[in-house]
């Protein structure tokens, strides 16, 4: 199981009036982790949209907030594949404060593969399936 790590320094736009990461921004950090995971694995989301005429919209997302992370701290986003089917992918994410092993948040994001033309579910591109086969901890796991 490969866990991808991405770092992000919190700015004023990321925090609430108390200087703590605003709850919706955790999903932004999950997205950064997901996109960087794909990029590091050699998969171009841009090519998927432009050349393959497919996209991966979020169909389900959850986040469990455990400890606050504050302005100017560096968040470490750990991303890995949790499961997938022919048309969906589920990523698992954790957020930690840099330099500490303290877990600040954990969550999962499920994406569905969508064909641009008819806006219907579509099979995940074979190029991405190959990457999933190499990286996933659950082979063709069922999403629950």
Catalytic residues: 16
Per residue, what are the HEC states of the chain? CCCEEEEEECCHHHECCCCEECCCHHHHHHHHHHHHHHHHCCCCHHHHHHCCCEECCEEEEEEEECCCCECCCEEEEEEEEEEECCCEEEEEEEEEECCCCCEEEEEEEEEECEECCCCCECCCCHHHHHHHHHHCCCCCCCCC
């Amino acid at each position: 199981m490969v866990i991808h790590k991405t770092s992000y320094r919190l700015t004023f736009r990321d925090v609430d009036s108390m200087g703590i990461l605003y709850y919706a921004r955790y999903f932004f950090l999950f997205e950064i982790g997901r996109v960087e995971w794909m990029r590091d694995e050699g998969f171009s989301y841009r090519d998927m949209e432009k050349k393959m005429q497919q996209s991966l919209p979020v169909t389900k997302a959850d986040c469990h907030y455990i400890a606050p992370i504050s302005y100017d701290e560096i968040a470490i986003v750990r991303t890995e594949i949790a499961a997938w089917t022919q048309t969906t992918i589920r990523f698992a994410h954790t957020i930690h404060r840099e330099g500490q092993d303290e877990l600040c948040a954990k969550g999962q994001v499920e994406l569905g593969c969508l064909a641009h033309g008819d806006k219907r579910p579509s099979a995940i591109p074979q190029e991405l399936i190959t990457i999933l086969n190499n990286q996933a901890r659950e082979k063709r796991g069922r999403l629950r």
